[in-house]
Chains A and B, each alone.
Chain A
Amino acid sequence: MIQIDQLSKKYKDADQYSLSGLELNIDQGEIFGLLGPNGAGKTTLISILSGLIKPTTGSFKIDGLDYASHSKELKQLIGIVPQEYALYPSLTAFENLYYFGSMFGLQGPSFKTSIKEHLRILGLEKFAHKKIKAFSGGMKRRVNLIASILHQPKVLFLDEPTVGVDVQSKKVIIDYLKELNAHGTTIVYTSHHLNEAETLCTRVGIIDHGRLICLGTPKELIQNEQGAEHLEEVFLAQTGKALRDYA
């Protein structure tokens, strides 16, 4: 589904590459976890795959299409759940979803029914006509997710979709992602929650300093790392314990 070939990114004025010669294939129907410490290049990769930033070198294709020649088709094909809430605080949940869904060309009574249905599944039915600014972090995250999947994308990119949410919200989100995946949506997601990734992902890739340093199923990675019982131990063994503060 996603073929990444020698992808590199160096930001203007940066000393180092944020991504360096990344090679990766993600198959259709996978839930692929992109793990790595702060500044490893996860968000950069998601941003490139979402068409938000341009790679310095290399190329990639999603479902056989690239942005250079099929930008519109690609945008229709993918869904992006950004790290920010990316919602209008003074609009209601329904209005936000109606607007962002319409920008994918959705319209008509079935579209409105779909919004209500998504809100119901994610436990927000009662709050459909409340303004986003009154929502808790977990509620905003759920609306943020719905805004990205109304058009039923083939590939869904999520950049830390469960950051800052309570356990209940996290469970609802994860369960829903599983359901989406069960219906054929390929999911690529970044997270710092390694336990979550371990149970959710079919495969994970650990990147550090812009390079892919580990790739496999969670089980394979744990088995290959001596003495490791969980993904977190693999992660620390591969990326080290040094703090990764950057500015």
Chain B
Amino acid sequence: MHKLWVSAKKEFWLLSRDLGGLAVLFLMPLLLVITITLIQDNTFKTIQENKIPILLVDLDKGAVSDQVGNNLRESSLFEIISEENEERAQDLVQKGEYQLAIILPNNLTRDLHLKIDQNVSGILAKFGVEPEQEGEPVAIEKKEIRLYFDPATQQSFKSSVRNNIDKMISQIESKSIYSAFQEELGEDGNRPIFDTESFISFTEIVPNANKRAGIPNSTQHNIPAWTLFAIFFIILPLSINMVHEKNQGTFIRLRTQPIPYATVLGGKAFVFLVVSLIQFILMLLLGVYLFPLMGLPKLEVAGRIPLLMVVAFFAGLAAIGLGLLLGTIAKSQEQSAPFGATFVVILAAIGGVWVPVFAMPHFMQVLSKLSPMNWGLNAFYDVFLRNVGMGEILPEISALFLFFIATTALAILYNKRKNAL
């Protein structure tokens, strides 16, 4: 026990002498969480404040295209730049000067009204309100609104714009159909007889085990995800610390001393676990006290702190186990640093830190179950967002603990095999 205690003390001395390293350990994760939360929380605000300039080529020059243009302007997302020529618009988008060009085709208004009139007359004739037209109706060519996107535009932005324009056109079509009916029925166009407002609306309700009110905000999504990411990044300083020992020759000296490798690892695990818990506490303080001052949603931790600390403890252990294994196997910093950093990013990616697991392909969903970051993230979400108790997070924290045991045991076995006499 004395050897373990002194080993931990030595690790503490080493860490405390590297102030730059300590600053990186504690400040960089905070910076990461602040940056990500600011970006995610303010994305919509930013778009509103800084309108995205897009090109609108109105080849229709009719009521429908006017309405599309007005709706786009009113959406406050876009700054509409009118352009007369479709080819020039395409060229400007291709060069990346604009994210998007919307081309409203020739005769859009005329043909839409014609089509609606045809349909409405046909329906009314079926009800006997109007005489049936003799012969085939005039063929009207389908209209196509063309959207040119900058090749660098992200898919999510494209989908969002496409859906918005689609919804806008559907609303214009619906209103036109109602108007056509009103005209055909001979009613006064100034006194609407149909309510064209949306009849069906949406309400977001979060099922809550403890009946606590509130919808999770971006802080409550970001702090757990990126805290976990930061906790796992501890494998970098930990593995580098171990590689340094090999290069300095101190590890050679330790191998000639009557001290089990498990004790050497135990000292490191203890100190780095304390570091990861301090990191976590700083993240919580950030979310609770600093975020509101920055205009970000406050992190709600009331009544959850003990369980959060439990999850952070086991997530920290899992990360440390991985760091110990990497530090044992790596021969140089050139091996441990890039591998560690990339591996954490991969674990985060398959663990659902960036893209939710449910949105991944089936194979990746299966793979995500193997990522300790996924277990940790689920446990954090369980506590932060689902307000569950210890029983519900037991499977996840058990998995994290087993991962620590397995990786540490592997490190000890590897060292034993490598240095067997």
Residues of B within 8 A of A80 (CB): 253, 256
Q: How far is the CB of A76 from chain B (nearest CB, A)?
A: 5
A104:B257 contact, CB within 8 angstroms: yes
Chain A: residues with CB nearer than 8 A to chain B? 50-54, 67-68, 71-72, 75-76, 78, 80, 82, 84-91, 95, 98-100, 102-105, 107, 131, 147-148
A91:B14 contact, CB within 8 angstroms: yes
Checking B6, B18, B421 against A103 with a beta-carbon cut-off of 8 angstroms, the contacting residue is B6
Cα A229 to Cα B263 in complex, Å, equals: 52
Cα A84 to Cα B246 in complex, Å, equals: 11
Known: A95-B10, A99-B6. A86 touches B257 (CB 8 A): no
B258:A76 contact, CB within 8 angstroms: yes
Interface core residue of A53, A100, A104, A131 (most chain B CB under 10 Å): A100
B253:A82 contact, CB within 8 angstroms: yes
Residues of A within 8 A of B7 (CB): 99, 103
Q: Which residue of B lies closest to A67 (CB)?
A: B421
Cα A71 to Cα B259 in complex, Å, equals: 11
Shortest 10 CB-CB contacts between residues of A and residues of B: A84-B249, A86-B249, A102-B6, A90-B17, A75-B258, A86-B253, A103-B257, A99-B10, A103-B259, A67-B421
Chain B: residues with CB nearer than 8 A to chain A? 2-3, 6-7, 9-10, 13-14, 17-18, 248-250, 252-259, 419-421
Residues of B within 8 A of A51 (CB): 255-256, 421
B257:A91 contact, CB within 8 angstroms: no
Residues of A within 8 A of B9 (CB): 99
Residues of A within 8 A of B249 (CB): 82, 84-87
Interface core residue of A86, A103, A107 (most chain B CB under 10 Å): A103
B256:A88 contact, CB within 8 angstroms: no
A88:B14 contact, CB within 8 angstroms: yes
Cα A87 to Cα B254 in complex, Å, equals: 10
Residues of B within 8 A of A72 (CB): 258
Residues of A within 8 A of B2 (CB): 102, 105, 107
Residues of A within 8 A of B14 (CB): 88, 90-91
Q: Which residue of A lies closest to B254 (CB)?
A: A103
Checking B17, B250, B259 against A86 with a beta-carbon cut-off of 8 angstroms, the contacting residue is B250
Residues of A within 8 A of B250 (CB): 86-88
Cα A85 to Cα B9 in complex, Å, equals: 21
Known: A88-B248, A89-B248. A147 touches B253 (CB 8 A): yes
Residues of B within 8 A of A54 (CB): 420-421
Residues of B within 8 A of A71 (CB): 258, 421
Residues of B within 8 A of A87 (CB): 248-250
Residues of B within 8 A of A103 (CB): 3, 6-7, 254, 257-259
Q: How far is the CB of B7 from chain A (nearest CB, A)?
A: 8
Cα A126 to Cα B187 in complex, Å, equals: 106
